[in-house]
Amino acid sequence: MIDTDAPGNRRSITQDVLQSVGECVYEWDLEQDVLEWNEGAATLLCTSEEAISSNRKYSRLLLSSTLSSRDDTIISSEEKDTGNGVPFRLKYALSGAQLGTQSDIWVEECGRWFANEAGKPARAHGVIRIINERRSLEERLDRLSRFDALTGLYNRSHLKVCLDELFERGLQHDTGAAFVIVGLENFDIINSVYGFDAGDAVIEEIARRLKGNLRDNDTLGRFSGAKIGLILPECSETDLQVAGERILSKLRESVVQTENGPVAVTISIGAVLMPAQARNSREAFMAAHEALLESRRARDFALISYRRDPAKDEKRRQAAGMADQIVKALRQGRVHLAYQPIVDAGSSRVAFHEALIRLETEDGGAFTAANFVETAQHLGLIRLVDHHALDLALTTLVKYPMANFSLNVSNETACDPEWLAKVGRVVKRNPDVADRLIVEITESHAAESLSEAKRFVQNVKDMGCQIALDDFGAGFTSFRNLKSLDFDIIKVDGQFVDDLKSCHENQMFIRSLVQLARLFNAKTVVEWVEDDETATMLANWGVDYLQGYRFGQPKRHIEWMEDLKLEAS
């Protein structure tokens, strides 16, 4: 054994440290195959000194599934010993069956081997550390990286890995596969009515029922919150429909019993055949999810299989292209505001403007909001667009004392406290800005969440700005919502002006709205006014302001900008 005792037979600090941290050290004569260890090494490794006296004997203790050959692994490096030795590091397990222990012992070994004059490995020394706790943690982390904690199923990331492996093996059309998403409907309602524990119990039970109906080579995993994904290898279109019926039958067989009572479940199923309709895991995920949404809309409780739609594919490509243009335009400063006049209905004099966002293309063209805002909302880019538009608007209001305009904010950004904070910071430094800024929110925002809209409206008004309800009539704002939200201006959606002269219903709607707005002390704006006859009708009914090409198209440079230039000169 290696002598780790200090003079006077006093146990050395080194020996105490090795035992306390679960380590032992050795020297190995490779030519004679002799292993010498520090005192206590055999006890630490739960074996005898004889069992670790040579590499040949020590190697018998190794769990072969973790390391086939210790000596080959250590000296397999192509590096040459230049005098300082060649480092090595390996990890393996000592077999509990060989040691006579209840479980295997995981160790990490590191050291250096040294060559003789002929350049061949002749001796080595190293340290062996017990890493059972670390190995257990690594296993837990590895499991978390692959499995869903609630259901015990594979998680979405590992489903993708399994799909990728399936595609790598080469899917043929005649022996294709399918990817299926099973979606639990009304999951939010289950959570809110029965509690989150009941929601978890429902997901667990659905997973259990699905697991009991799989073939040996099928793969099941949790796709997302209330959605479970299935990979079905060797699955034809006929097989897929049979599988769908089987899944639906199994999930409908009875309610799910939870601690808070029985819960009835409603299921939608979307699927995609591979490689016919999807050529990689990303396409499979998207296609199956799109089919799931179609299944929800159909409401016929059957599996919907994705079919490639050239029109949808083209729309998706266009959306991706538009997203790229939006991001580049924002980065390169090619997004600006254009101002359209809003006039007094009686005098036709400009009362204020509406600031409309425009995106310049690289070739000098321009997109209006109608061309790109919906795409920005769908792809999660609208917050960037809204913040950029607000920065431009606030800069303009500070720079031009005569500027007076309204600015739209999307539903998503109206919930963003940073948007309001930006307005607040500028108004604090420049109080007059508040008097010249009108913030427009859409009717759909007011309809979606009254309490949220109410907070936003109150915050805007507390800063001294006015608030306008845009696109009135396009959504579902009720009399109660109008009363609660205290709008300064109500803008009528332009669709009611399109055929105003001949449509009695539209005439009645606008006239009724004028009366309603007066009850709330709100002004009215009617959009899309393009001729004198329509303008006269609206003015006679008491509409306060008019907007449309009859009074001017949106312009990037308008009068008060020019006035400031003249004053400066």
pLDDT for the residue numbered 400: 95
User: By the 8 A CB rule, do 399 and 429 touch?
Assistant: no
Q: How far apart are CA 247 and CA 162, in angstroms?
A: 21
Q: Mean pLDDT, to the nearest integer, of 458-471?
A: 93
Of 495, 492, 498, the C-alpha closest to 543 is 492
As a whole number, the mean pLDDT across the chain is 86
Domains and CATH numbers, the chain: 5-137 (3.30.450.20), 147-308 (3.30.70.270), 334-356+382-568 (3.20.20.450)
Q: What is the pLDDT of residues 22-48, one digit of tens each?
A: 899 999 999 999 999 998 899 899 999
How does pLDDT run across 51-107, given as a tens digit for each residue?
A: 999 999 999 999 988 887 888 888 776 778 888 899 999 999 999 999 988 889 999
pLDDT tens, 481-505? 677 788 999 999 888 888 898 899 9
Q: Is the peptide bond before 275 cis (omega within 30 degrees of 0)?
A: yes
Instruction: Give the pLDDT confidence score for residue 442 in this predicted structure.
Output: 81
The per-residue pLDDT for range 281-318, each reduced to its tens digit, is 999 999 999 999 888 887 666 788 898 878 877 887 88
B/e letters for 138-152, b = 16+ CB within 10 Å, e = fewer, are eeeeeeeebbbeebe
Q: How far apart are CA 8 and CA 146, in angstroms?
A: 55
With pLDDT > 90 as the criterion, what percentage of the chain qualifies? 44
Question: Sorting pLDDT into bands at 50, 70 and 90, what band is 147?
Answer: confident
Cα–Cα distance measured from residue 435 to residue 432, given in angstroms and rounded to the nearest whole number: 6
- Residue 9 pLDDT > 50, yes or no? no
Q: Is 491 helix (H, G, I), strand (E, B) or coil?
A: strand
53/34 Cα distance (integer angstroms): 6
- Cα–Cα dist 437/123, whole Å: 82
User: CA 192, 193, 198, 203: dihedral to nearest 10 degrees?
Assistant: -70
Task: Give the number of other CB atoms < 10 A from CB of residue 536.
Answer: 11
Q: How far apart are CA 36 and CA 26, in angstroms?
A: 5
Task: Tell me if residue 56 falls in helix, strand or coil.
Answer: helix
- What is the three-state SS of 215-226? CCCCEEEEEECC
Strand 437-442 to 366-368 pairing: unpaired
Closest to 250 (Cα-Cα) out of 212, 217, 286: 212
Are the C-beta atoms of residues 150 and 203 closer than 8 Å to each other? yes
Task: Report how far residue 109's alpha carbon sits from residue 62's, in angstroms, rounded to the nearest whole number.
Answer: 13
Tokens representing residue 263 in the block: 């819960």
Q: pLDDT band at 364, cuts 50/70/90?
A: confident
Instruction: Determine the pLDDT at residue 335.
Output: 93
pLDDT score, position 10 = 46
Please state the rounded mean pLDDT for residues 449-461: 85
Residue 328 has pLDDT above 50, yes or no: yes
Taking the model in full, what pTM does it have? 0.58
Pairing of strands 405-408, 366-368: unpaired
What's the pLDDT score for residue 388? Answer: 95
DSSP string, 531-546: SHHHHHHHHHTT--EE
Calpha distance 374→101 (Å, rounded): 65
Nearest to 126 by CA among 103, 108, 101: 108
The residue with tokens 């309602």 is 189
pLDDT given for residue 8 in this prediction: 45
Reported as a single tens digit per residue, the pLDDT across 167-217 is 888 777 667 899 999 988 878 788 777 888 888 888 888 888 888 888 888
